[in-house]
Amino acid sequence: MRRLALCLGLALWAAVPAAAQQTGTVAGRVVDGTTGEPVATAAVRVAGTVLLTIADDSGRFELRGVPPGRRRLWVERIGYAPRELEISVGAGARAELEIALEPRAVALGSVVVAATKRELSARDAPVSVAVLEDDELRLRVPATVADAVAYAPSVQFVGENINIRGSSGYSRGTGTRVLFLLDGVPANAGDSGGINWDIVPLTEVSRVEVVKGAGSALYGTSALGGVVNVVTAEPPERPITRVRLRGGFYDDPPQSEWIWANQTLGYYSAEASHGRHLGPLGVWLRGGWGTDDGFRENGDLERMNAALRLRLGGAADTLSLFGSWAREDYGAPLVWCTRGQCDDPNGLAFQPLRVPDDARDDRTRSDKGRIHLTHRRRWSGPLSSFERLSFQRNDWESDFGDQLVWAVADRYGGELRLGWQTASWLFLTLGAEGAYTDIESNLFQGVGEEPSDTDYDIRELAVFAQGELGLGSWVTLTAGVRTDIWRARGDTLADPSTSELSPRLGLVIAPDALTRVRASVGRGFRAPSASELYTATRVAGFEVERNPSLQPEQSWAGEVGIQRLLTSWLLLDVAGFYYDFEDLIEGDTLFSEGAIKIRFQNLAKARVAGLEALARMSLFRERLQGHIGYTFLDTEDKSTGEPLAYRPEHLLTASGTLLFRGVEIGVDYRYASAFERVQVFTDTRLDALVPMRELDVGLAYRLGRQTLRFMVDNALNYAYTTIERNLQPIRRYTAALELEF
């Protein structure tokens, strides 16, 4: 591995003199071919090189260092047909262009950052990326970003765990194999490593990027199975005020024997935001409140959040600040009621909408606050830089009646990164990153142990380098490597530490503007979270044993994919992928003296192989749009030969939207085959494993900038679980009014 890093460094060094050769500049404006209006965020790339840029809000772009001669220019933007132009570039000359794009609705050309830490078209990424744009995010009237991400192909939520291509399974809220980024800044919780989706308000999200596959070569720990990057919206040039009112109610349960409440259970929320420029300073301010009775006993929730986004400077030199705070207060039953645990006149084996009598008052309060400051600068030469500082606090407590458990985790982070266009065929990304997490929790105290003054902290330090090389006129090679040093401190006898080297190699072949072939192979790792290492507690019938000798889990991941625009209305993307895991951290469950004991262990060598196919369509002059995505997963715990727990074999998402005279009708269907294996409750009579079938139907009416939406979620009122003894939400009806001034 070290030899690979050295070779990469020498290759990059050798490339530097090439930057001095005589080159030209291509600049211009991208406009809508129908209206003549500027088109922002179009990706403009010189074929056969790694020169690319993203058009600004006025559609302007500029590419320097273009080799002289006849060149092909590719221009892409979501909602428009990709365009290929032949241009002539003179040495030392400047070519000025106006490029008109014809509207077309097949989703193509979304800009992503998370795949390579550099803005580029999702099609040019060497790994599979799903992008949810702002319209898609709001279409289904979601309550949080997670509700919207659940519609992305190859994504399934198992409990609160996001599961990309079957990498995660279910880890009981501790640890996730997906790295959560907010504007490119890591935002996983410092104690559990989990994701708090409510930390970012949905109304100010510009897009969500879901990068599939191991991303540790750029991001280090947690990016074992993928990366989710939530990109917040830039403050608007003109003052905008938005109000979103949302309300709805739950239907009766699908089985009359399960009815538990004699009143209608509803939910309401209100959000307001205002964005404007105050001189050179762009501002977004936002606040929201929501309450939900819940569809099951003790399932109520109250949520508040506030966020602030500031931006100073233009495209060449930008200082941004994002701050947010969110509070949730909710009932926290861990499992439903089985016979004898609550008064059930029907005498059933379980009541999925009721909870045990002793869990009726269990509650959790969770506060999340974060602030991050980023600075981007495009220097006059071939250099660009990015610096960031971040702080995040996760502060929560759960009251289980006879026991109060709590944790406070402060995570400080920083990153320095340089982008260096050394030549038209080579773009370098170099960076260093560090984080320090300080954790206090009575979960680490141990059953029957006296409180101690032990300090728990985690330190992380990393450097990384990535080169993007244009090889000939068709091929782009991406090679990167990152080394991480990670150390946890909290138990003087067995504090774990590790140093990890994570290389990745990617290849994109682009024979024409319509086709991309991609391949990548990379190594990923995830260091155990503090919760997995040190938790030692007994709550609500579950007992967790600490295991401070846990080691990081590791993977090699590879994929090969092809994407092609087959006709003007059909885009097809097919990929095969393979993960090979070592030292997988899984909660080993055993029943002892009637209690469920969980101990996190480096148990398994495992593999996940799969196939993914996605078709996007746009028919009848873009009035009917949709996609069908299918994922096949074949998983194996190599030590037992059994399938991995909490992974479906088949995943299907289908979505269609019909637009007609301001009315939009949307239908979504998500299917996941029943898990072949779960870990805790395995009595198939009491805990039947059933598939997930979720049908959602929506209707929206737009009048100018105002939108009225109706939505029926789980229209089939289908009863299923993703983790044992936790019913997923039953049918519910939602209305939302979105006002913009």
Measured from the CB atom, the residue of 346 and 567 that comes closer to other proteins is: 346
Q: Which stretch binds other proteins (CB under 8 A): 93-101, 285-293, 337-345, 632-640?
A: 337-345
Q: Rule CB under 8 A: which of 455-474 touch other proteins?
A: none
Measured from the CB atom, the residue of 258 and 577 that comes closer to other proteins is: 258
Q: Are 206 and 78 in contact (CB under 8 A)?
A: no
Write the binding mask 669 to 708 for other proteins: x where contact by CB under 8 A, - elsewhere: x-------------x-xx-x-xx-x-x-------------
Measured from the CB atom, the residue of 206 and 589 that comes closer to other proteins is: 589
Measured from the CB atom, the residue of 48 and 666 that comes closer to other proteins is: 666
Task: Collapse the DSSP code of 182 into the 3-class scheme (helix H, G, I; strand E, B; otherwise coil) and give the result.
Answer: strand
Residues in CB range of 467: below 8 A, 6 or more apart: 8, 11, 12, 426, 427, 428, 429, 478, 479, 480
Q: How far is the CB of 153 from other proteins (least distance, A)?
A: 19
- 721 near other proteins, rule: CB under 8 A: yes
Task: Collapse the DSSP code of 471 into the 3-class scheme (helix H, G, I; strand E, B; otherwise coil) and give the result.
Answer: strand
- 447 near other proteins, rule: CB under 8 A: no
Using CB under 8 A, which of 9, 68, 236, 254 touches other proteins? 254
CA trace torsion 653, 658, 659, 663 (10° rounding)? -100
Using CB under 8 A, which of 40, 348, 517, 708 touches other proteins? 348
Q: Are 228 and 181 in contact (CB under 8 A)?
A: yes
Q: Are 466 and 476 in contact (CB under 8 A)?
A: no
- 340 near other proteins, rule: CB under 8 A: yes
Measured from the CB atom, the residue of 26 and 359 that comes closer to other proteins is: 359
Exposure of 354 in the CB half-sphere (CA atoms within 13 A) = 22
Q: Rule CB under 8 A: which of 521-540 touch other proteins?
A: none
Q: How far is the CB of 47 from other proteins (least distance, A)?
A: 42
Q: Read out DSSP for 122-135?
A: GGGSSS-EEEEEHH
Measured from the CB atom, the residue of 228 and 342 that comes closer to other proteins is: 342
CA nearest 419: which of 53, 45, 36?
Answer: 53
Q: How far is the CB of 738 from other proteins (least distance, A)?
A: 27
Tokens of 22: 């005589």
Q: Which stretch binds other proteins (CB under 8 A): 278-286, 325-333, 339-347, 500-508?
A: 339-347
Q: How far is the CB of 490 from other proteins (least distance, A)?
A: 25
Using CB under 8 A, which of 448, 451, 472, 641 touches other proteins? 448
Q: Are 622 and 104 in contact (CB under 8 A)?
A: yes
Number of residues interacting with other proteins: please give it, by CB under 8 A: 34
Cα 485 to chain centroid distance, Å, stands at 24
Task: Collapse the DSSP code of 86 into the 3-class scheme (helix H, G, I; strand E, B; otherwise coil) and give the result.
Answer: strand
Q: How far is the CB of 588 from other proteins (least distance, A)?
A: 19
SS (H, E, C) 624-667: EEEEEEEEEEEEEECCCCCCCCCCCCEEEEEEEEEEECCEEEEE
Q: How far is the CB of 342 from other proteins (least distance, A)?
A: 11
Measured from the CB atom, the residue of 350 and 579 that comes closer to other proteins is: 350
Residues in CB range of 487: below 8 A, 6 or more apart: 458, 459, 460, 495, 496, 497, 498
> Where are the alpha helices (H) located in 71-143, listed in sequence order?
134-139
Q: How far is the CB of 643 from other proteins (least distance, A)?
A: 20
CA nearest 575: which of 154, 120, 114, 128?
Answer: 128
CA trace torsion 309, 313, 317, 318 (10° rounding)? 0
Q: Which stretch binds other proteins (CB under 8 A): 96-104, 192-200, 341-349, 498-506?
A: 341-349
Q: Are 442 and 448 in contact (CB under 8 A)?
A: no
With vertex at residue 144, the alpha carbon angle to CA 263 and CA 352, rounded to the nearest 5 degrees, is 40
Q: How far is the CB of 718 from other proteins (least distance, A)?
A: 5
Using CB under 8 A, which of 345, 347, 472, 704 touches other proteins? 347
- Report the alpha-carbon distance of residue 235 to residue 305 in Å, rounded: 19
- 350 near other proteins, rule: CB under 8 A: yes
- 544 near other proteins, rule: CB under 8 A: no
Q: How far is the CB of 341 from other proteins (least distance, A)?
A: 6
Q: Which stretch binds other proteins (CB under 8 A): 49-57, 229-237, 335-343, 562-570?
A: 335-343
Q: How far is the CB of 654 from other proteins (least distance, A)?
A: 10
- 718 near other proteins, rule: CB under 8 A: yes
- 345 near other proteins, rule: CB under 8 A: no
Q: How far is the CB of 690 from other proteins (least distance, A)?
A: 5
Q: Are 115 and 506 in contact (CB under 8 A)?
A: no
Q: Are 387 and 184 in contact (CB under 8 A)?
A: no
Q: How far is the CB of 254 from other proteins (least distance, A)?
A: 7
Residues in the chain: 741
Q: Rule CB under 8 A: which of 585-614 touch other proteins?
A: 593-594
Q: Which stretch binds other proteins (CB under 8 A): 107-115, 128-136, 299-307, 343-351?
A: 343-351
- 401 near other proteins, rule: CB under 8 A: no
- Report the alpha-carbon distance of residue 132 to residue 136 in Å, rounded: 6
Q: How far is the CB of 727 from other proteins (least distance, A)?
A: 7
- 257 near other proteins, rule: CB under 8 A: yes
Binding footprint of other proteins on the chain (CB under 8 A): 254-255, 257-258, 338-341, 346-350, 352, 448, 593-594, 667, 669, 683, 685-686, 688, 690-691, 693, 695, 715-716, 718-721, 727
